[in-house]
């Protein structure tokens, strides 16, 4: 009983250690950063899926944000205007046209660090008399100063963007601390907060976390160096993930020429956030985003997305993108690893399905493919709810664990007898060779027991092959429970079993063989056609290798076989020890 329990624990120990081992290896690999590029590509793909209309049962592409209007300046506008940058007079005229409809806030995403005559006084007057006008500056790297008047009025935000290693913009830099320890806000957050002021929504610090900022329904958390699937990023300032709404098609746009010509719907700008910025590659820096591999997006559209995510989160409860803590991500990976292992074990278990091997392996492949789709789908659904969780790491864990279990099963099938669940002849030959070599080095004897089920052909003929199979299973289990933990039992042939006894002399081997014979009789497996006993019995031949130079595993098998033959010849249901006299008798 105790030995059976020990064997079960040993079997389950390997299965129980497999999930944490594989999950641990995948987690360690992910911590090195090797999976970061793949996780980021998956992150990008989720954005593209969300924007497509061919996912009707999962999500619907987001509608155009009615709060934001972008006045674009593209290449055709510049050709028609025949000037760039715009003169101060032209820019003052543009802002005056917009002001006539009382927009809630105007964002001027055009650098104006020096005057461009004519019209400088007119533009300065517009700057002084437009309290809801926000200008821009660049504060990282090559600094670009903001308009002097807007700077004095504190109506400025920086437009610096954070690039990942692959050059894409996935993070939004909300604020930074300058070298003078001055807190500076980004252009996008400044515009968003100005817009929300009319809603009586103001940023507040959370009571539960000093880093959490609450803006209406939105809760902002800064990214740390290992946020989500990032590894050791530069998280300077206050950074959050940028939950894009989309490209230029996701916003209401109007060209600067249409504004000058006043060819736009009445009240287009009323109570809206109006963003003025270039979209032409020749005048506006462009950046890669999750949506396009080859076509960069203008900084103006990226700023519009950054503004939108704050407004939509604060007013509409549209989720900001967040990440799990490390322990929760590790639990996520471990859960999927365990699921993959359990599914693989169930499908490859010989008792689980009454199908042939080909169908079983086909089901294994399909089920793991389905599990992979379920994992990706679950990650995508969490993404839609505002959570960026590991996808490739658990997928690799699922595939890796399934392959390991599959290889282990193949190995088992190659080395074990599927009927009796003990090692087969091929495995026996390898173990015997290794045991003999080790015992030779330690100058210890190796013993072998060959067992044969008496009158087994008659048993099969009488009770049928299914009963014969059950009989062999019981005998194999009985032998395994009777021998020592250091011994090795294998199915040697049809109804023959072999037991290797390392570091065992002849007398000890005889006692073990005799115990096997007695335990098999005690199984009380009825055998009405046996001429030896009314129950199933065993005949055993025992041999031990001497320590001379001429001994070998083949000699040991030959000697045990001779002893087994004599046991049968002398009436069966007995143990015979090999000695040289047996050869003389034969």
pLDDT in tens, 121-163: 999 999 999 999 999 999 998 999 999 999 999 999 999 999 9
3-state SS string for 461-524: HHHCHHHHHHHHHHHHHHHHHHCCCCCEEEECCCCEEEEEECCCCHHHHHHHHHHHHHHHHCCC
Tell me the per-residue pLDDT of 555-581, one tens digit each, with 9 for 90 and over: 899 999 999 999 999 999 999 999 876
Segment holding 556, helix H or strand E: helix 553-569
Q: Which fold has domain 425-585?
A: Alpha-Beta Plaits (3.30.70)
Every domain range in the chain assigned CATH 3.30.70.270: 425-585
Tell me the per-residue pLDDT of 307-358, one tens digit each, with 9 for 90 and over: 999 999 999 999 999 999 999 999 999 999 999 888 887 777 655 444 556 6
pLDDT value of position 59: 57
What are the two backbone dihedrals, phi and then psi, of residue 396, each rounded to the nearest 5 degrees?
-65, -40
Query: Rounded distance, CA 579 to CA 569, Å?
Result: 16
Tokens of 566: 């004599």
Label residue 403 by pLDDT band (50, 70, 90).
confident
Query: Rounded distance, CA 538 to CA 456, Å?
Result: 10
8 Å CB contact between 331 and 239: no
pLDDT value of position 353: 46
- Of residues 502, 512, 486, the one with CA closest to residue 440: 502
CA angle 489, 491, 494 (to 5 degrees): 155
- Of residues 571, 551, 578, the one with CA closest to residue 450: 578
8 Å CB contact between 220 and 205: no
Query: Rounded distance, CA 79 to CA 262, Å?
Result: 19
Per-residue pLDDT, averaged over 431-446, amounts to 83
Per-residue pLDDT, averaged over 533-537, amounts to 92
**Is residue 77 exposed (0-12), middle (13-18) or buried (19+ Cβ within 10 Å)?**
buried
Query: Rounded distance, CA 293 to CA 373, Å?
Result: 24
Per-residue pLDDT, averaged over 90-114, amounts to 95
Residues designated catalytic: 495
The structure's pTM equals: 0.79
- Of residues 38, 306, 61, 335, the one with CA closest to residue 187: 306
Highest mean pLDDT: which range of 244-248, 292-296, 354-358, 442-446 = 244-248
Tell me the per-residue pLDDT of 10-65, one tens digit each, with 9 for 90 and over: 556 667 788 888 899 999 999 999 999 999 999 999 999 988 765 544 556 688 99
Query: Rounded distance, CA 243 to CA 245, Å?
Result: 7
pLDDT value of position 350: 52
């Amino acid at each position: 009983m105790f030995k059976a329990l020990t064997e079960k624990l040993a079997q389950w120990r390997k299965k129980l250690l497999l999930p944490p081992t594989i999950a641990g290896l995948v987690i360690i690999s992910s911590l090195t950063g090797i999976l970061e590029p793949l996780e980021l590509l998956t992150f990008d793909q989720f954005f593209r899926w969300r924007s497509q209309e061919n996912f009707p049962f999962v999500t619907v592409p987001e509608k155009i944000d009615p709060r934001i209007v972008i006045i674009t300046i593209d290449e055709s506008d510049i050709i028609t205007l025949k000037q760039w940058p715009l003169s101060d007079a032209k820019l003052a005229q543009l802002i005056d046209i917009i002001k006539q409809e009382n927009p809630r806030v105007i964002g001027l995403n055009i650098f104006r660090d020096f005057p461009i005559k004519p019209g400088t006084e007119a533009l300065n007057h517009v700057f002084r008399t437009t309290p809801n006008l926000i200008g821009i500056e660049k504060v990282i790297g090559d600094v670009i100063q903001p308009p002097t008047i807007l700077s004095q009025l504190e109506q400025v935000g920086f437009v610096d963007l954070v690039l990942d290693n692959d050059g894409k913009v996935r993070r939004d830099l909300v604020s930074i601390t300058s070298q003078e320890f001055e807190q500076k806000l980004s252009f996008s957050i400044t515009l968003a907060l100005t817009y929300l002021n009319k809603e009586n929504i103001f940023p507040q610090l959370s009571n539960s976390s000093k880093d959490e900022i609450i803006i209406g329904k939105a809760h902002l958390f800064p990214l740390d160096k290992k946020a989500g699937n990032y590894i050791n990023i530069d998280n300077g300032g206050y950074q959050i993930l940028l939950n894009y709404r989309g490209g230029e098609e996701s916003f209401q746009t109007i060209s600067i020429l249409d504004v000058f010509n006043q060819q736009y719907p009445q009240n287009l700008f009323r109570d809206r956030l109006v963003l003025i910025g270039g979209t032409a590659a020749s005048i506006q820096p462009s950046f890669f985003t999750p949506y396009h591999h080859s076509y960069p997006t203008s900084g103006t559209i990226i700023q519009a997305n950054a503004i939108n995510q704050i407004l939509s989160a604060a007013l509409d409860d549209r989720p900001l993108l967040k990440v799990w803590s490390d322990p929760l991500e590790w639990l996520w990976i471990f859960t999927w690893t365990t699921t993959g292992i359990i599914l693989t074990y169930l499908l490859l278990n010989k008792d689980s399905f009454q199908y042939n091997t080909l169908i079983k392996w086909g089901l294994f492949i399909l089920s793991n493919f389905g599990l992979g789709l379920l994992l990706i789908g679950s990650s995508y659904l969490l993404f839609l709810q505002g959570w960026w969780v590991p996808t490739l790491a658990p997928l690799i864990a699922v595939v890796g664990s399934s392959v390991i279990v599959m290889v282990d099963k193949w190995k088992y099938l190659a080395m074990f007898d599927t009927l009796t669940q003990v090692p087969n002849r091929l495995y026996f030959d390898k173990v015997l060779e290794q045991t003999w070599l080790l015992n030779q080095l330690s100058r210890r004897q190796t013993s072998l027991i060959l067992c044969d089920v008496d009158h087994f052909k008659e048993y099969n003929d009488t009770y049928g092959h299914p009963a014969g199979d059950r009989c062999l299973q019981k005998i194999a289990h009985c032998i395994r429970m009777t021998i020592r933990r250091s011994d090795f039992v294998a199915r040697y042939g049809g109804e023959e079993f072999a037991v290797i006894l390392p570091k065992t002399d002849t007398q000890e081997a005889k006692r073990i063989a005799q115990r096997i014979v007695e335990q098999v009789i005690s199984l009380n497996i009825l055998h009405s056609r046996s001429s030896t006993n009314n129950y199933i019995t065993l005949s055993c031949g025992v041999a031990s290798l001497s320590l001379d130079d001429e001994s070998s595993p083949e000699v040991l098998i030959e000697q045990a076989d001779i002893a087994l033959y004599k046991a049968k010849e002398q009436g069966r249901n007995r143990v015979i020890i090999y000695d040289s006299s047996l050869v003389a008798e034969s």
